[in-house]
Amino acid sequence: MAVPKPSKLPSSTSFLLKKLNVGSLTLILFLCILSYLLGLWQHGGPTSFPTATTTVVDVACVSYNNNTTLDFSTHHVAEFEAAKSVELIKSYPLCNVTYSEYTPCEDPKRSLKFNRRRLIYRERHCPEKEELLKCRVPAPHGYKNPFTWPKSRDLVWYANVPHKELTVEKAVQNWIRYEGDRFRFPGGGTMFPNGADAYIDDIGKLINLKDGSIRTAIDTGCGVASWGAYLLSRNIVTMSFAPRDTHEAQVQFALERGVPALIGVLASTRLPYPSRAFDMAHCSRCLIPWSQFGGIYLIEVDRVLRPGGYWILSGPPINWKKHWKGWQRTKKDLNDEQTAIENVAKRLCWKKMVEKDDIAIWQKPINHFNCKVNRKLTQNPPFCPAQDPDKAWYTKMEICLAHLPEVSNSQEIAEGKLAKWPERLNAIPPRISKGTLKGITPEAFEQNSELWKKRLSYYKTVNNQLGQAGRYRNVLDMNAHLGGFAAALIDDPVWVMNVVPVEVKINTLGVIYDRGLIGTYHNWCEAMSTYPRTYDLIHAHSVFTLYKDRCSMEDILLEMDRILRPEGSVIFRDDVDELVKVKKIINALNWNSQFVDHEDGPLEREKLLFAVKLYQTAPPDDHAGSKSS
């Protein structure tokens, strides 16, 4: 049976339906647009969306403009995770005031458990995980912001470092004087009672300190770092170190003065610096037994000295014929010590340049071309077997000579000649141009330098204090890479401690030193070898991404709180998910903070978190505070 065909609508009816469909669609579209516009009007218009507009922040007064504050927490945590995190938020009370100078890995009490031979007990010995403090190390009651540089070179508030021991013990040596509410540093030292300036002038008559060929120096057993402090005016930056020992707060005084320094000692492990890092090394009565233990300490100085670098020694046994009575030692004893030092230096192929009055200077060879020939005859000390001379984190020192890069003749400088300062800062470092450092090209180096100029410029629009002289002096870059951040700051009156974490894939600390900057190796799962309240500004680039699943974010942030001054600032730069977690913890640390977009706009996952540690000190009651939360 045939199926009847549907009857065809008349053409006029079909036209009417089409007209109605178009009309309906138009009406719906109109209502949608109207609803959208009403919604925008109700919520303050399109300006409520995040933009790349920069907010100027007066960090010194901790006054933030919260109109454009970014808060990502609700966008990056699932509901059940958010509920859990709220439960886990805790407070961090102040530790007892007895911890105000706590240095976890150089704790005098813990050190007594270790071997005293070769000062091993004064090396780094960090607490176990269960011993870590979960409280905030307090500033002493009455703590004040340090004097601004260069005034700080000569003056330190007594309340900040309340120790008068050195004013008594070193009174005749002109190290330090106590004057009411402050200490004054006249610039004297054990071997330069007339002042560090005059002493440096004497050195400058023997080697050239003015032509830019000497830029980086290391001072072993630095006292209060007056040598390094006065070299800064000559565009020479010094890594000063001394152990935490019977001289209370030597390194702490140096840091309060605004001078680069770390707690450290020559004992059994390598210094935490790369090979060929320093143009000049210095010891002024530093009491290091240079000729003992097979000359191992002088061998370590050789490792960190550049080809052609200088070693300067003053104090015993130099000029012993004049000073032997004052040193209360016999002529024979002092003569034997100097002869032994001279012999070690010869075995290292060093050349003694000069000995004048109380100063003696040796020079490391520019290559090992001739030294290798001599080594075949003496074998004392031998060249080190195949090893990385830059490896220097808990690495045991050995009685062997670190290899210099190969040369084709005796006149060639191993790895090439460095540019003089200040050209050295932006010249392609030899480790990159010669291909010694794999993975970094000259083009990448130059691009990195330009990138950090751009980033610093952006930082200064957010934190207007970055552009003001005197607000910051001691700066820490926790993950420095090629030192671009420090290089961009070079015209500001600051110094930067560039840290290359031992966990990074490419060890770039040698490049940082090739640029005429300073730094150290470190593992941020442990405390830094410095006193509380060392730094005015900390820069943390991708630190928490690097240490994710390695150690506790809480412990890293507590360490940052320990080494940051009251009212000090931090710039976090990391993946947004990591920064959301960071913000929750620093809120509990009593820091103010604000999210800021990446300089390339809000669509970048990497964000910035600017933070300020609020001013707080220990109460006057000595028993206030707690050991842990």
pLDDT digits (tens, 9 = 90+) for 100-117: 999 999 999 999 999 999
Q: What is the pLDDT of residues 260-302, one digit of tens each?
A: 999 999 999 999 999 999 999 999 999 899 999 999 999 999 9
Mean pLDDT is lowest, of 6-15, 84-93, 418-427, for 6-15
What is the rounded distance in angstroms from the CA atom of residue 609 to the CA atom of residue 540? 10
What are the backbone dihedrals phi and psi of residue 502, each rounded to the nearest 5 degrees, phi first? -70, -15
Tokens of 354: 């000069």
Contact 404, 350 (CB under 8 A): no
CA angle 262/536/563 to nearest 5° reads 50
**How confident is residue 54, by pLDDT bands cut at 50, 70 and 90?**
very low
User: In one letter, which amino acid is 82?
Assistant: A
**How confident is residue 544, by pLDDT bands cut at 50, 70 and 90?**
very high
Q: What is the pLDDT of residues 93-102, one digit of tens each?
A: 999 999 999 9
What is the rounded distance in angstroms from the CA atom of residue 137 to the CA atom of residue 228? 28
484-507 burial, b if ≥16 CB within 10 A, otherwise e? bbbbbbbebebbbbbbbbbeeeeb
pLDDT higher than threshold 60 for residue 416: yes
Residue 465 is classified by DSSP as G
Pick from 5-19, 49-63, 420-434 the range whose average pLDDT is largest.
Answer: 420-434
Residue 298 burial by Cβ neighbours in a 10 Å radius (0-12, 13-18, 19+): buried
CA distances to 41, 63, 610 from 55, rounded to whole Å, are: 24, 11, 11
Mean pLDDT of 553-574: 98
Tokens of 291: 């000729």
What is the rounded distance in angstroms from the CA atom of residue 43 to the CA atom of residue 415? 64
Mean of the per-residue pLDDT values of the chain = 86
The pLDDT of residue 35 is 60
